[in-house]
Amino acid sequence: MNPLIHQSSDGTRVVRLTPGKRILFLTKDLELIRKQLAGEVDLTMADVRPEDLLDDINTDTMTPAWVCFRHKPEDIALDAYAGLVDANGERVFGTRALMDGNFEVIVSGQRKGTGSSRETAPQCEKWSGIHLVVASSFAPIHERNNLNLGQLMANYGQLARLQAGESLPLEELTGQYDPVTRVMLESGGLFAFNAMYARGEAAVPVPQTPARPMTMAEKILAHKLVGTDGNTFVRPGDVCLVSVDGGYSHEFTTAQVHHFLAQEYGSDYQVQNPSKFAVFEDHLLYATGVARMAPFADKIQTLRDLQNEFQRHTGVRDYSAKNGISPGICHQVAREQFVDPGDFIQATDSHTCMGGGGNALTYGVGATEYAGLIYSGFTFVQVPESIRFDLVGELDSGCTAKDVMLFILDRYAKREDTLDRVMEFGGPGLASLSMDERATLCNMATECSAKSGICEADAKTIDWIVAHRPGTQRADLQARTVAPDAEAVYDGGRFTIDLSQIQPMVAEPGDPTYGKNIADLGDVRIDIAYAGSCTAGKEDDFDYYARVLQEALDQGLKVAEGVSMIVQYGSETVRDYAKAKGYDKIFAKAGVRVIEPGCGACIGCGPGVSDTADQVTVSAINRNFQGRSGPGKLYLASPLTVAASAIMGRITAYHPGMFQREQVPG
């Protein structure tokens, strides 16, 4: 149980601060953080305005990739917040700084925990002695990970009262949650709740929601309620146990899942439905080829070894690398091979939502939650709200779905319209987008701090799956598809996006929400153009890269001098497709480096990362947090923009005919 929870004299439970313990305020003034860590100053809520606090603290900041090479939480906590650096690239938190600071409360601004689903982020706080996390708002996966770990969360007003010496009723901090989440949080987290459930000391009643129109996400969850015939109804806020159809983990996360399962259920634990769960070796395949990652080779190999041990123990699908080559990025391979329409899929990665392009409900969870669901076959869910985007028109030839998402990030995510909601995509304009482009829409839902993204199904959905899985029956797939009811309620609102009005965009360095039209960007010279990742390593993306590069070659142009362009396949299927089209020859002629399938520069673990702070990268990946892909400045852009920029040597929007000699400087 959380040590801040105490039994009062009248038998009620209260929360109070521990005398002598400290509170750490994560301020925009990094020197002030350093002074707090050094014990030179202690602050109260009266000393700090909400606007003084750091917003959008992402999980890479809390636990950078190299910290995640450890799988035991107590080791991860040693370098809590190692990714928070100053303007000179110097760490604000040294090793053991949080752990040795005698802190039990940590305070920040809006959208705490954006970015990946890595549970290591809240773990680094808990195992450093933090037991109360205070913020204006939380990214959904990060909030859920805190709940699963039994971490209390509070607002600024509550903290001010606690600092004044008050004892707050526990229900004041937990009353915002549904009854089941409250029991889980108050009992110490998910594993404690699961033990209570197994002993019959806790229950999750089936929702008694009357018949009502439902969104796609609501329909999928309603159909999979444990203990029902699937003909029930749910509404946002309902709490339920839901069967999970499948999921996956990768070498960044599997070791911790294995560790938790053995700790909780014994070394002979078993999992449910292993044929539709999987492990992937994709994230760290090229890590040791990056100079700053090379010192961690032994730890990376330990993660691989533990994943192999987990796979042998459980019998889940094995997508390990063979002869040093990965089958591909987990999200891409999963959608190609085993995510079906109507599925409910959970995996230990925030971009799991990419599967929603195929009309499934898919989103990322932390290691604790994944361990629990793969062991039991079901998981505890609070039905999320939805926000609807009706697409009309068609994209200009210089735009892709990536530009649509950069627009949504700038327009809707900034004001938190998408926060913790399922982004539902439909409308006549969706028909103009391929399945790969729909996957891009859903992939980047997590950048919007959304719960997930999901697209309506149509003939393209069925055709694409059948093409990638020979022998699959069309009628079976069609029967699985889910459509929203005409009168479905969208708590986040319903918005129309005219695709014909979308312009080529970038996200400026630091965060995916820093959107800007390229026409307004000015002259930005580049050193690196990276084309790959789950967001931009699909078949359509390679069509885009090849189209631009071939047009340049036709005009006698190659990648600009001084620019390094790298393309990386998202899967073996994509690689085989591209080679069959002859794209490998185009890449070679244009001076492009080609990398086998897998993750890489997107998480700073492969070719394409910057080496110095003054380097500028334009990249087709999905997030550009400081330091994520090296110390340089990173702009997010569409595949078309990345390829065009590589030729021009500066960030440039693509348009047909742009490489005619009279239009190209020099």
Tens-digit pLDDT profile for residues 512-553? 999 999 999 999 999 999 999 999 999 999 999 999 999 999
Helix 572-580 to helix 583-590 angle (10° resolution) is: 80
Q: Count other C-beta atoms under 10 Å from residue 320's C-beta.
A: 15
Letter for the amino acid at 239? V
Tens-digit pLDDT profile for residues 92-136? 999 999 999 999 999 999 999 998 778 999 999 999 999 999 999
pLDDT of residue 142 exceeding 90:
yes
- Lowest-confidence segment of 54-58, 256-260, 292-296, 418-422 by average pLDDT: 292-296
Architecture per CATH, domain 505-663, reads as 2-Layer Sandwich (3.30)
- Lowest-confidence segment of 144-153, 163-172, 192-201, 344-353 by average pLDDT: 192-201
Rounded CA gap, 500 and 495, in Å? 15
Its pTM stands at 0.89
pLDDT of residue 665 exceeding 70:
no
Q: Would you give the end-to-end CA distance of the chain in angstroms? A: 68
Question: What pLDDT was estimated at residue 26?
Answer: 98
Rounded CA gap, 363 and 119, in Å? 14
Question: What pLDDT was estimated at residue 174?
Answer: 94
**Which CA distances in Å does 328 have to 360, 403, 538, 586, 633?**
20, 24, 10, 22, 27
Residue with tokens 């990056």: 290
Question: What pLDDT was estimated at residue 241?
Answer: 92
- Backbone conformation region of residue 237, classed left if phi is above 0, alpha if psi is from -120 to 50, else beta: left
Question: What pLDDT was estimated at residue 662?
Answer: 45
Question: What pLDDT was estimated at residue 666?
Answer: 47
pLDDT of residue 664 exceeding 60:
no
Question: What pLDDT was estimated at residue 222?
Answer: 96
pLDDT of residue 144 exceeding 70:
yes
For residues 93 and 626, the model is more confident at 93
Fold of the domain built from segment(s) 212-502: Aconitase; domain 3 (3.30.499)
Mean pLDDT of all residues in the chain?
94
Domain locations in the chain as residue ranges: 5-198, 212-502, 505-663
- Backbone conformation region of residue 81, classed left if phi is above 0, alpha if psi is from -120 to 50, else beta: left
Question: What pLDDT was estimated at residue 607?
Answer: 85
Question: What pLDDT was estimated at residue 115?
Answer: 80
pLDDT of residue 255 exceeding 90:
yes
The proportion of the chain whose per-residue pLDDT surpasses 70, expressed as a percent, equals 99
Mean pLDDT of 40-58: 95
Tens-digit pLDDT profile for residues 408-439? 999 999 889 999 999 999 999 999 999 999 99
pLDDT of residue 245 exceeding 80:
yes
Question: What pLDDT was estimated at residue 141?
Answer: 86
Tens-digit pLDDT profile for residues 193-223? 888 988 999 888 899 999 999 999 999 999 9
CA 487 to chain centre: 30
CATH for the 5-198 domain, from 3.10.105.10, 3.20.19.10, 3.40.50.720, 3.60.20.30: 3.20.19.10
pLDDT of residue 491 exceeding 80:
yes
Question: What pLDDT was estimated at residue 603?
Answer: 78
Q: Do domains 5-198 and 212-502 have the same CATH topology?
A: no
Question: What pLDDT was estimated at residue 2?
Answer: 92
Question: What pLDDT was estimated at residue 661?
Answer: 60
Question: What pLDDT was estimated at residue 418?
Answer: 96
Residue 418, phi then psi, degrees to nearest 5: -90, -10
